[in-house]
Structure formats: C-alpha cells, structure tokens
Amino acid sequence: MTTTPRTRPFMQIDVFSFQPFRGNPVAVVLDGTDVTDDQMQALARWTNLSETTFVLPPSTDEADYGLRIFTPQGELPFAGHPTLGSAKAWLEAGGVPQHAGRIVQECAAGLVTIRHRNNALSFAAPPRVRDGALDEAYLERITAAFGITREQVLAHQWVDNGPGWAVVQLATAHEVLDLEPDLSLIPDAMVGAIGAHPGGSEHRYEMRTFAPAVGVPEDPACGSMNAGVAQWLTASGAAPRSYRVSQGTRLGRAASIGITAEADGTVWVSGDAAVLIRGTVTL
C-alpha cells in the first residue's frame, strides 16, 4: 500500500549536552502515521544520525504516544537519547501527558516512563533482557578489537536492555579515551567501555559506545548503554546511587549524563535536550 507524500512536522533535538551542537542529535518525525517501514529506514539512512524516530498514536491507553526508533541500518526496540529527544519534541509540539510531570512512551521494548520536572527530562531504565558476565571467547574478541590486554579489564557484563549492549570496565577514563578500536574485528557488536575519572572530577566516569552492528561506529552519547551499566554498577555497590558520566569527548562532543538510582532499584537517566532545528519533512 502506498500513500500520497505529505509534509509532516519535524524537529532535530540535541540531547545530553548543556552546550548547543555538543550532544547527540536525534531526528524526530512528529507524525509517523502511514509512513512505511521502508520509508522510515530510508529517512534514517539519509539523516545518517545515530537514530531517527517516528511518533505515532499509542496502541494502549496507558501510553501518551508510540515511538519507533531507527538507526541507519535497522530498527531498535529501545534507545535512550531518542527517548529523551522525542519526549522533548512531543512536548514542544504541544503534547500534553495524561499525568502531570510524567510521560509514558510506548516502544517495541514496552512502556518507558519519562519524568518531566522543571524542564528537565529523565527516563526510567527499562529491565535488562540479558545480564551476567561475558563469555571469555566474546571478551577475547572485544579486547583484540580494542587493542588492550585481558588484564586491563577490571569487570565485564551484559547490560542489554534491547539493543544488545555489552560493556567492559577499565581502570581509568584515560584508558577509555585512548582506545583505537578496530571494529572490523567485531562487526556484529554493540559494546561499550567505561573508566573512572580522578576523584573530585565533575564526572565520575568516561563512557564510549560502539555499535557497528547497526551502522554506528561510535555513538556520541548513549542513554541505553548508560542505563544498563548504571543498573549493574549501582546494584553491585560498585558505584554510588548518584553520579554523572561524560561521553563523546573523542568525537568533539561534551555529553553529560546524569544517573540516579532510587531505593527501590529504579535507575533514572537524565540529560538536557534542546530543539535546534524545526521544520517539516515530506514523506
């Protein structure tokens, strides 16, 4: 079935940075009704951003809107910076949540709660679909691709909340920033590295995430990875209940991601979101 192309409201949101053009942009089509899967994928490939999203009517009364999330090479069930960016765009376009201060997004991973307080946005980390230590064979592939030794890995874990994330923990932020990964050795990977900044720094950790499996060599700022990692580190007591992560440094970005773990174990991931482009797209 084909439909007549029409103009649809469009925004591009910069997420996870207090400085314009230093975060992770997401393209948001605010009316994805009747757009085909192929059209969605074609636009995502054309924008060439980490993610492009399409806002849709929800299929359940519990949700305020539905969302589909595409990378240049495929669809994701969930992603963090598109969640915050799409919520910001929806609000800016006049969206009114059913409950003040709380937005419910429906995506392929289920319902995701987003807090909206004093113009700040944060999402509740969805449950992980896979956790536990990586198997040694996969870890060996990752260390080879990262050009590091097995001894440099302090800890490792599946932190998969839909996209397929795995992570390795290194001793320092410096080691993370020094990585020069050969992604041809792990073309199907969704993997990150995290390391600690010196005590007293504004950010506790430096994060880098690599997603060759979906056509994103390095993501400037990744909410889903940070969500899964925070669930792991705070539950194990390896990290405090509240901290900040810097990301995107090697890409010339300045992302700042806030983590808060509540007493019931819910992890909230927060970050700034600013509308930098408004217009229409014809689909």
Cα–Cα distance, 209 to 216 (Å, whole number): 9
Cα–Cα distance, 173 to 196 (Å, whole number): 5
Q: Other C-beta atoms within 10 Å of 111: how many?
A: 15
Give one DSSP letter per residue of 133-159, joined into a string: PPPHHHHHHHHHHHT--GGG--EEEE-
151 is annotated as an active-site residue: no
Cα–Cα distance, 176 to 171 (Å, whole number): 9
Residues 6 or more apart whose CB falls under 8 angstroms from that of 80 comprise: 123, 222, 223, 224, 225, 226, 227, 269
Q: Which of 51, 106, 206, 218 is catalytic?
A: 51
Backbone angles phi, psi at 37, to 5 degrees: -55, -45
Q: Which of 77, 69, 56, 63 is nearest to 26 (CA)?
A: 69
Structural contact between residues 225 and 165, judged by C-beta atoms closer than 8 angstroms: yes
Angle between helix axes 80-92 and 223-236 (nearest 10 degrees) is 120
Cα–Cα distance, 211 to 186 (Å, whole number): 9
**Catalytic positions, written as ranges:** 51
